[in-house]
Structure 1
Amino acid sequence: MRRINHLRRILMAAAAAMSIFMNANAQSGKPPVLRIDPSQAYGGNISDFFSDVTYIPLETTKESLFGDIGKLIVTDSSFVIADMDTRSTLFFRPNGRFAGKVKWPANTMPEIKYDRSGQVIQVYYIHQYDEARKSLAYYSLSGQAIPAPRLRNYVYPQGHLPLGQGYSLRLNNCQFGKGAQPKDSIFYLAEIYKGDALYKRLLPYNQRAKMAFCYLFGKVVNAGGDFSGFIVQDGVTYMATAVENLMYRISKDTAVPVYQVVFPMNTAYPQSVLQMKDTRLLDSVKAAARPVGTIISISKIFYNKRKLFFKGESPYYLSYLSTGANSIYNFVYDTLSRQLVSLERLAPDAGCSFLPAFDPRDGLMINGVYHHGGRIYSYVSSLDMFNAKEKTKNKHPQYPPVLKEYFKKQTRKSNPVLVSMKLKE
């Protein structure tokens, strides 16, 4: 008992020291450096991190059959999927039943966004040969075409991330174009609104002081997107600036730097370019090709107790079927033990019936995991589901009724299976 109490005191002291260290650094504006080497990330079992793993087969019919999940949107009442093969947006109910689909107009590429405040799906149809030709369509969460929603129907302003209690986040940038000179002026990368009124400006960046950053990037991840890389927990979200990889904790009142993430030189975009002051050199940096798979930013940042989850983002990915370093993009960092784990290296176990919980090919690498309603979502192809079933027969897995029915009636060519799970406390 004395040894247990002594160990408990050590752990409490370590946690307190970490908290003091992070708070002191946050107040000074110099967050602790978090060095992340994907090649050194550990693995483990899926049940070490997730519980209540639930499989949701997406109904497969002649009308609903599609190729691959290009984008997944999880809402309270549906799953919305963009598929390049069938050139359509598909809608499925929470139980996986098919609700309908919308075919894309010819010669267009869609930009699909979930407007959380208006509870609608926005689709920008952009002409493949003329980017100036755009059209905007709205759909309900179940797939019905609807007129543009009235602004009075919005709880939060359009294009904002709801933080709760009437507050929302709007993202800006400090970018300036070729031929222009940086201004000795402050540009705020984030703004907080209370209703329609500006409440507070956050993340001040001076174009002249941050010349290279503003010229090359000038924003946080998904600044022009639909906030798909942001997770809000109790009015707080986390985000990071591109290349700098400065991770901020954002609330309605503050933007606190919590970490600066540093990747190995062979993995990440070189931070040395941020010191350049010559636009001609910066133009050459823009034109230079970076190796496929280079991590340029981080997204999908959130905490679960002492564990920090985040994803490395790359403009271009290279697919690997093995667990080599080039395919590691999703991380779990234990802020107390300082152990780094990769989601790509988690192995199926009895908690998930020895079936994969993530796409072992491109899905996890490109899209990462999805968050909604306190649960984590991913997907697995039917090919991988049936292959895993064959390989694990000797483990005598216990399948729930929905999977028994799925394996009985579906094939390797059926639609993917969504996976819903809880983070383990």
Structure 2
Amino acid sequence: MIKKLMLLGLLIGTWSMVYTQPRPVLLDPAKAKDTTRSGIFDETEFIPLETSHQSIFGIIKQLVVTDKYFIILDTDTDAILFFDKQGKFITKYKNAPKRYRIHFIQQDKSRNALLIFSQHKNYNLTLTKLQAHLAKDQGSKPSTLVSATRLYLNDLPALRTEIVPAPAYLLANPVSLGSRKFIFSFIRSDAQNTEMQDHELKVMNEDSVVREYFPYHTKTDSVFYGRTAHQCSFFPTLNDSVLFISRPFQPFIYRLTPDSIAAMYEIAGSKMRPAASMPNAFSFAPVDQISFGSITISTRAGSGGSLLGSNMNTVNNFANLERFLFFNVRQPFGNYNYYVFDKKENRLYDRSKLKADSSSFLFPLQGPVLAFDEKNIYQGLSARALFNLKKGAAKMNPQYEKTLARFYKTGKPADNPVILRLKPKED
């Protein structure tokens, strides 16, 4: 009798813990409201990046913003470029071993450094072999496939670097999660797989798996069939030990720490159908290679199925500031809608439809948030696109925002891209 009462008490306690967990905040794009740009942003600034023989580049593949620098990965020139916060060029980094192409960068705040992940230019790896490689030993060191470098920012002109051990999970673009921890994601099912279960997320401490989340069947889970692999998307915060994540085909945003995970937001009406249920008329033709993680992978030996891209996440480009959330929601055929959520007023807005203010003209604020800091979000626009927008708006005779007006007087369409700094309201 006593044991039964103890068991009943345990069950009641467990039920109470589950029941009292807060439900995710529901964000419904169908109920997005209208407002003006000044209703969201206090400041806007266009910052042209200096164009010179040494600094010219193509597109902003990644942007890292520190207290002193704009750090840009440009895959056209296979280089990392450093500009100060006024857009003046400082220096440029390129890999010394020419066989490696820079693929991914992230800030290492604890060391005031930049982590640089690179892939071998001439090495192809099938998805099947990559999956087996990751399952066998995440901590192995495939030095011929990838490389990792830490570049210190406290002596930037000197470009002081050191080589970092490159474990196998580097193949999946791991993201730092606090001291010595990284998280990575590789999701793929295939009827030929011998292992039955794996997890969508894995937290590594050096070369050991310390946490696993979201189990799936690598042999029978048809939602992850296809000629490609899937990944969860990771969204950094201003705290190195906190990330937000989204999962393929799921409408949730999760908050992840080294020891826990919890669903924080749910996007209403946005759950995508998996590849297995998509009509054949919408299938894409198979391709021979895809870019996944930090290496180019051959799909010729992969299983059959539709190629819908390696990232089928419903929610993406999530930035969590003190008052506002910025995020994108995937629409049919891969397009995104852009939203901003005011946590103070509990209101959702369509960011691409924010109304222009009469005092100054600003183009629609579409496109991804490339980076953010304590006060601002940052976007990137090509100089040519800005001049095309000016040409299209000529009949309106607009009064441009002052830094944009200055760029139109001094810049040219062939110049480097322009950083757009937007400061959201704080009150």
> What range is the shorter-chain TM-score in?
0.5 to 0.7
C-alpha separation between the residues in 2 aligned to 1:32 and 1:399?
38
Q: Structure 1 residues 303 and 148, CA, compared in 2 at 3 Å: closer, same or farther?
A: closer
The equivalent residue for 1:355 is 362
* SS of the residue 1:329 aligns to: strand
Q: Structure 1 residues 93 and 306, CA, compared in 2 at 3 Å: closer, same or farther?
A: closer
The equivalent residue for 1:170 is 183
Q: CA deviation at 1:398?
A: 5.7
The equivalent residue for 2:253 is 247
The equivalent residue for 2:160 is 146
Q: CA deviation at 1:377?
A: 0.6
Q: CA deviation at 1:389?
A: 5.2
Q: CA deviation at 1:259?
A: 3.9
Q: Identity across aligned pairs (percent)?
A: 21
Query: Conserved in 1, the CA contact under 8 Å of 2:75 and 2:102?
Result: no
Q: Structure 1 residues 205 and 304, CA, compared in 2 at 3 Å: closer, same or farther?
A: same
The equivalent residue for 2:371 is 370
Of residues 64, 80, 104, the one that matches 1:112 is: 104
C-alpha separation between the residues in 2 aligned to 1:316 and 1:103?
36
Q: CA deviation at 1:413?
A: 2.0
CA displacement, residues 3-34 of structure 1 (integer Å, 9 cap, x when unaligned): xxxxxxxxxxxxxxxxxxxx987738x75765
Q: CA deviation at 1:59?
A: 0.7
Q: How many residues align?
A: 355
Q: CA deviation at 1:418?
A: 0.6
Q: CA deviation at 1:111?
A: 0.8
Task: Show the 5 A alignment for 1:285-364.
Answer: 287-290=305-308, 295-303=312-320, 308-312=325-329, 326=335, 328-333=336-341, 340-349=348-357, 353-356=360-363, 358=365, 364=367
Of residues 40, 54, 62, the one that matches 1:71 is: 62
CA displacement, residues 102-132 of structure 1 (integer Å, 9 cap, x when unaligned): 4567676421312424412414142145466
Q: What amino acid does structure 2 have at the position aligned with 1:247?
A: I
Q: TM-score, normalised by structure 2?
A: 0.63
User: Structure 1: which 5+ residue stretches go unaligned?
Assistant: 1-22, 152-157, 275-282, 318-325
CA displacement, residues 86-105 of structure 1 (integer Å, 9 cap, x when unaligned): 44332212221111224567
Q: CA deviation at 1:419?
A: 1.4
Q: CA deviation at 1:285?
A: 9.1
User: Structure 2: which 5+ residue stretches go unaligned?
Assistant: 1-16, 126-143, 166-172, 279-300
Query: Conserved in 1, the CA contact under 8 Å of 2:225 and 2:276?
Result: no
> Aligned pair 1:270/2:274, yes or no?
yes
* SS of the residue 2:162 aligns to: coil
Query: Conserved in 1, the CA contact under 8 Å of 2:201 and 2:232?
Result: no
The equivalent residue for 1:59 is 50
Query: Conserved in 2, the CA contact under 8 Å of 1:168 and 1:192?
Result: yes
CA displacement, residues 184-222 of structure 1 (integer Å, 9 cap, x when unaligned): x685835497xx799974635364899446777997524
* SS of the residue 1:243 aligns to: coil
Task: Show the 5 A alignment for 1:197-212.
Answer: 201=211, 203=213, 205=215, 207=217, 211-212=221-222
C-alpha separation between the residues in 1 aligned to 2:218 and 2:307?
26
Q: CA deviation at 1:133?
A: 4.8
Q: Structure 1 residues 178 and 138, CA, compared in 2 at 3 Å: closer, same or farther?
A: farther
C-alpha separation between the residues in 2 aligned to 1:133 and 1:235?
28
Q: CA deviation at 1:306?
A: 7.1
More off after superposition, 211-220 vs 232-241: 211-220
C-alpha separation between the residues in 2 aligned to 1:378 and 1:312?
17
Q: What amino acid does structure 1 have at the position aligned with 2:326?
A: F
The equivalent residue for 2:422 is 421
C-alpha separation between the residues in 2 aligned to 1:129 and 1:199?
27
The equivalent residue for 2:121 is 127
Q: Structure 1 residues 180 and 49, CA, compared in 2 at 3 Å: closer, same or farther?
A: same
C-alpha separation between the residues in 1 aligned to 2:73 and 2:248?
26
Query: Conserved in 2, the CA contact under 8 Å of 1:245 and 1:298?
Result: yes
* SS of the residue 1:287 aligns to: coil
The equivalent residue for 1:180 is 193
More off after superposition, 371-380 vs 77-86: 77-86
C-alpha separation between the residues in 2 aligned to 1:171 and 1:133?
17
Query: Conserved in 2, the CA contact under 8 Å of 1:354 and 1:388?
Result: no
The equivalent residue for 2:402 is 399
The equivalent residue for 1:221 is 232
Q: What amino acid does structure 2 have at the position aligned with 1:139?
A: L
Q: What amino acid does structure 2 have at the position aligned with 1:81?
A: I
Please provide the CA RMSD for this pair.
Answer: 4.8
